[in-house]
Structure 1
């Protein structure tokens, strides 16, 4: 009997030993010598090993995970700014044996009727994402302990990918030079915040953008932040999107929708705001919306940011709230990345770039949890530079001129309001400038006036206060109605009344298209009539150029720096050129809904198109493009130590200033809009539908103003000749452009045929410049496939540099 049972007992003993060895330790024993941080997800800091152990006491409960960049790279071209938010992820921890998975369900596809079977069918039809897997270190009842260190020390913000996509080098995360950043690793009842210092090594092929902002391109160190956030309760009511209202939002497919209803559901993004007294016309809020301005912003900039941001209180008052929107200074010990703070952050970069408003939004409902504005600090210097160019303020014996700083600060107020508007959920409105600057959500060019004596007046450069459209937008997003109100009808009536008052909304896609058709939707334009404003802007430009000289720079500044001030003044009309170009071949329209009475579509009257074309052709004249001799002679090559930048004119003359290159870039800018394949095709189409101004008529007038123009003298004649060659370039390119309609290409070929005949006659001229220009044209006509329009590449940047010029940016 003993011999029979002995193997059995030995087996039981071995199993017991194996089980004991693999049994998870208790939380207490595993964290005995660690510092505990209680909060939403309790965690422990192990000083000896540098680890973060996360206590998960909410298995299978959804929460919000957000990563962000707390300390950035400083290169506008690459991005990766201080304070840059990453995407939002609704996630949950799920335990499977010795593992805990961090699961992100698919929010884009849902079944919202409460039927578990339908919900399961949708969930199983589309992929979810397991963002990470953790090993269980200890257990205690329903709690598990996992080592979160590797998760927190990973490149969650994709720094490596951003640098690679910018073609600035090959990097990899170096764990030996990365560690937790404890000053910003904190815990609170509804959010847990973690921050890590990450170092990326490699960079043997580092580009100039990286090298310019790092002490050593072989070791680039930034900080990334991770937020675990309790999801909002279910007392928030999503608000349906309306294309006329101008809001960002969320959308998803609801497969439980009846077949006769739209399957795609769209809801606007907005903060939660509720009245204490819902029945009152005006009421205080249950919880006000509070924003905080970065205490790092210096004065007088900080005050300007505060003032501009506070303008939005006017809109909330119009929507029936009292003291519901506030702006304060961020406490010194507050973390800007902490989800509890809506912030306006002052961000530094090596070059001027876009500012932008971002949010942390609940992907389930559209509720904005955190607004985060990033304002580029160099923008204010560009506005100051423009004011210097317009005013020439540094004459000897003159008192200090404060108008430049006044204009720059007024722009900052507007910029602060603009970006904060995005974090309230509101899109750009690029049609607002035609109705007396009705929205801070437009891109504003300075409104510069001329006094009766012809002096430049900057006193009304930027609007003050929130616009009329902004008030209507806030009403749509945040207004609450008495019980029993049909909200859909009330919002529809609100938008109809706004339209009757002349308030329009046209946003990014329509306004940013270089071949765009909308005659009133433009970036950085002014005035109710694009053509009239272009004439005015050219007059202001001419006035500024007439007195341009040493008084545009301070005493002691190298004379070569005159070019820096000259660039924005010489190109002062660039945005109004784009605005006027959209009138030619333009089609007016709104985001109309059936039965709302708004305009659907109509093409711009021929008279308006012709007026815009006349204004555009004026920008191609030598007297506009050629700089005066006194300006050219005053700009020497830059001294040693003052390297040229991309903010200057391109040159074909080596180190010396090149006035012809400046003229060429400006003329090409105008022509690139007039010859855009979409505009050319639209002109053909509109002529076929009854318009008297078609592509042939436009091309004939361009030829008359360039190739048929009278010969000039000196620099003006050289500008005239180069403009002729640019016109030829665009004709050749259009004739070969497969994106244009055949009829548009045929019209270009007809002009080329006529030009070839003219050039053959000019090739026999006794004037060498005329003959040489004709011979070059004839040679180029033989090789149409080689035509490559510059398409603005030689025009120095006007708008902020970089690729952030999209929704939510300025």
Structure 2
């Protein structure tokens, strides 16, 4: 999962290199008119040295870089990551391997000093054009670090500098803790006595430094951390290729991770801002055969090695997940474009290390984190992916096991156990790896893909076995929760689909005749237009919460129907959870874990429905395509969504409040938990942006289902007991108070000079509260339950207080 996201970086921090460090023999040095110390006085016989991009030397507690003269002013990508993080840091959302910064640097010699300059390639101009001087003058490179030259080689071919303070002091550009974290944990200072360089490895194309940073903090993430926050940082410096790959210009109609550019040589009346896609450099070995439509191997295939720590049991599934992408690359004209390999033995490659940028590795991390990520190292000058490390955290399968039980347990007997059969769990692992490799190839999430398939098609064995759950493996569609118990032979686990083949062809097909990026655009546009209007080939990132057809975890075109199916299955699962999750002689930890995750998935089903209300469909188009980009969700779908919410979100979920389960996992908390969930759904439904979209859509598109209809439907649903005279239970009382509180909060914004004060929302909420107050006054005695009457009186008092205060 993973963690949108643009994923750039070297995750070399999670595995220690296996190289043997030995002192580097050096010819006697001569002083240069006393400017520098003799070489052997700086790099002594006790030095632990490592040859690679730079020769690195550890002398006592100092670290020296010996920089060849040939590498000055060369572009290098510097990636800073947190290799190890204290428990609870960042609220648990910052994991080992999290990138904190990446930048292109150049080492440059300035007199007796060496500087590290931070370069930018965002702003561009032809060096021969008059504006080039202005672009350079207005993008002056900052100096990240400077050190004096300590000594030099006898032949003046390399200079030695002390870089200890670069890693032991607090240098903001490579620091693991930003200003907000320091404020959150009340950090006083970096303690240099407890900050040190732990390890350094130099490889032919990169240098890796691991260093510990320790901060004094008044409020560390957890109490047991003794007013201290320590983290292990990994700094990766990667030499970028001088032979630059030709970039491919991005198009927002096809999903790709991209790098932004500004071209000041544009003929337009402004700089031309555009984006290029991030992709590996794949060139056919036989150009003529490729032109003739034959499948051709690339000059340099994409190779992933498995981490030596990967359990033997799971290696076949990892390899299949990687090489599944060959099907997509064949669509782009390549065969054997991506290869999965076991880690080489010491005899096969004694210098193999996952930290070496020459190797892309699927890392298997012993961590309780439930996640997998697929970042990559990208050359920001061209968008070329240089290297990638897929991270698989050990406990990630636990999430899939639980989800399989919750969402498929009613339909699939193999899901009714904590020991999920290897066939199913291996297939899940394979598809997770395939998903993460998709990211590493340049593809972002495509949350719109799932809406291409009719919801009821996911109940068909023939359809799902052929087409999967969604047209793209890059969608979040983990388990088929739509299928019902009577549907036999259905596929339950996602797989690669037609969109993935289309996107890889669009991004990776080699165009031999094209000499520039602009030369490719006609062909790229043609491929998109050939698929225009077919929802299978549409892209939507799923961010913003506006388009109900581009949502995380949703399945099928009809989100209301899909959630109905999902809830029907959940109601069958809950009564069986004790039997499926417990074992003689053990407690109820597993039951509690699965039950709480089930509640989270139920909330997700509700959110999928809410997004339809005030929702807007987005179909990405360019100006040469007919039709609108944005279209409001039809009235009947919005009205049906609110009906679903009244019946399933705002009624008391008796099916979920299973006494047998609750008596085993908690002494109390059910009421508060349901209140929190229902209130969050209600707040999401009555979100200001949603209401404003509904107001605008009514005005511009003559939508009949407007805010006033929404509020009336909610009042009749949430306060149904007021009209039928029934008792109001504790859950419903909390919900009704939440509704009144939300409306009052909007009215209060009138006095806060809030932007909402200039909209219709306050008038609508005031009118709704007046209607509710009138009905409460008139019908409060329609129930014989005394607590319900007290509750109604309390609501009346709250509304009166709100009006009186204004």
Shared fold, TM over 0.5? yes
Q: Which moved more, 1:252-261 or 1:275-284?
A: 252-261
1:478 has 2:508 as partner: yes
1:539-566 residue CA offsets vs partner (Å, 9 max, x unmatched): 1111112444344322223247533222
1:397-444 residue CA offsets vs partner (Å, 9 max, x unmatched): x99775466554433333222222222111211101122401111112
- Which of 221, 243, 247 aligns to 2:252? It is 243
User: C-alpha distance in 2, partners of 1:670/1:489?
Assistant: 46
Structure 1 residue 484: Cα displacement: 6.5
Report the 3-state secondary structure (helix = DSSP H, G, I; strand = E; otherwise coil) of the residue aligned with 1:413.
helix
Structure 1 residue 231: Cα displacement: 1.7
* Equivalent runs, 1:103-502 vs 2, <5 Å: 103-111=117-125, 113-115=126-128, 118-139=131-152, 140-141=155-156, 143-155=158-170, 157-161=174-178, 164-165=181-182, 167-168=184-185, 170=187, 172-182=189-199, 184-188=200-204, 190-191=205-206, 193-208=207-222, 211=224, 217=226, 221-260=230-269, 263-279=272-288, 280=290, 281=293, 282-331=295-344, 334-349=352-367, 352=369, 354-389=371-406, 403=420, 407-436=424-453, 437-448=470-481, 451=484, 460-464=491-495, 466-483=496-513, 487-502=520-535
Change (3 A) 1:664 1:445: farther
1:681 has 2:701 as partner: no
Structure 1 residue 661: Cα displacement: 2.1
1:574 has 2:599 as partner: no
Structure 1 residue 387: Cα displacement: 3.6
Change (3 A) 1:403 1:731: same
Report the 3-state secondary structure (helix = DSSP H, G, I; strand = E; otherwise coil) of the residue aligned with 1:272.
coil
1:530 has 2:563 as partner: no
1:682-714 residue CA offsets vs partner (Å, 9 max, x unmatched): 112222231111111111111111213466878
Change (3 A) 1:527 1:77: farther
Q: Which moved more, 1:535-544 or 1:334-343?
A: 334-343
User: C-alpha distance in 1, partners of 2:636/2:318?
Assistant: 43
TM-score normalised per structure 1: 0.82
Task: Assess if the C-alpha contact under 8 Å between 2:68 and 2:159 holds in 1.
Answer: yes
Structure 1 residue 316: Cα displacement: 0.8
Structure 1 residue 523: Cα displacement: 0.8
Structure 1 residue 155: Cα displacement: 5.0
2:79 paired residue number: 67
Task: Assess if the C-alpha contact under 8 Å between 2:83 and 2:234 holds in 1.
Answer: no
1:601 paired residue number: 630
Structure 1 residue 583: Cα displacement: 1.6
Change (3 A) 1:163 1:518: closer
Change (3 A) 1:84 1:504: same
Task: Assess if the C-alpha contact under 8 Å between 2:82 and 2:100 holds in 1.
Answer: no
Structure 1 residue 567: Cα displacement: 1.8
1:650 paired residue number: none
1:276-322 residue CA offsets vs partner (Å, 9 max, x unmatched): 12232221000001123333233544443332232222111111100
Change (3 A) 1:217 1:286: farther
Task: Assess if the C-alpha contact under 8 Å between 2:407 and 2:481 holds in 1.
Answer: no
User: C-alpha distance in 2, partners of 1:36/1:658?
Assistant: 60
Structure 1 residue 659: Cα displacement: 2.6
- Which of 543, 547, 558 aligns to 1:512? It is 543
Structure 1 residue 601: Cα displacement: 2.4
User: C-alpha distance in 2, partners of 1:747/1:344?
Assistant: 55
Task: Assess if the C-alpha contact under 8 Å between 1:731 and 1:749 holds in 2.
Answer: yes
- Which of 781, 785, 788 aligns to 2:799? It is 781
User: C-alpha distance in 2, partners of 1:451/1:686?
Assistant: 36
Report the 3-state secondary structure (helix = DSSP H, G, I; strand = E; otherwise coil) of the residue aligned with 1:250.
strand
User: C-alpha distance in 2, partners of 1:231/1:786?
Assistant: 68
Structure 1 residue 368: Cα displacement: 1.2
Runs of 4+ displaced beyond 6 Å: 398-401
- Which of 730, 734, 745 aligns to 1:733? It is 745
Task: Assess if the C-alpha contact under 8 Å between 1:677 and 1:734 holds in 2.
Answer: no
User: C-alpha distance in 2, partners of 1:359/1:551?
Assistant: 40
* Equivalent runs, 1:3-82 vs 2, <5 Å: 22-27=34-39, 30-31=42-43, 33=45, 34=47, 36-46=49-59, 48=60, 50-58=62-70, 60-69=72-81, 71-73=83-85, 75=87, 77-78=89-90, 81-82=95-96
User: C-alpha distance in 1, partners of 2:97/2:689?
Assistant: 39
Report the 3-state secondary structure (helix = DSSP H, G, I; strand = E; otherwise coil) of the residue aligned with 2:160.
strand
User: C-alpha distance in 2, partners of 1:712/1:447?
Assistant: 41
1:501-536 residue CA offsets vs partner (Å, 9 max, x unmatched): 32254444xx333xx331301011112211111111
User: C-alpha distance in 2, partners of 1:447/1:365?
Assistant: 39
Structure 1 residue 452: Cα displacement: 5.3
Change (3 A) 1:449 1:757: closer
1:794 paired residue number: none
1:90-140 residue CA offsets vs partner (Å, 9 max, x unmatched): 2222222221111123323232x2227533321112332101101111244
Task: Assess if the C-alpha contact under 8 Å between 1:619 and 1:670 holds in 2.
Answer: no
Structure 1 residue 32: Cα displacement: 5.6
Mark the runs of 5 or more structure 2 residues left unpaired by the alignment. 1-30, 346-350, 454-469
1:720-741 residue CA offsets vs partner (Å, 9 max, x unmatched): 3322222222322344454546
Structure 1 residue 267: Cα displacement: 1.0
Task: Assess if the C-alpha contact under 8 Å between 2:279 and 2:383 holds in 1.
Answer: yes
2:22 paired residue number: none
User: C-alpha distance in 2, partners of 1:75/1:263?
Assistant: 45
Change (3 A) 1:761 1:176: same
Change (3 A) 1:501 1:322: same
1:737-768 residue CA offsets vs partner (Å, 9 max, x unmatched): 54546222211211100111122234456531
Change (3 A) 1:426 1:776: same
Change (3 A) 1:743 1:178: closer
2:3 paired residue number: none
Count of residues in Structure 1 that have an aligned counterpart in Structure 2? 728
Structure 1 residue 777: Cα displacement: 0.8
User: C-alpha distance in 2, partners of 1:665/1:284?
Assistant: 56
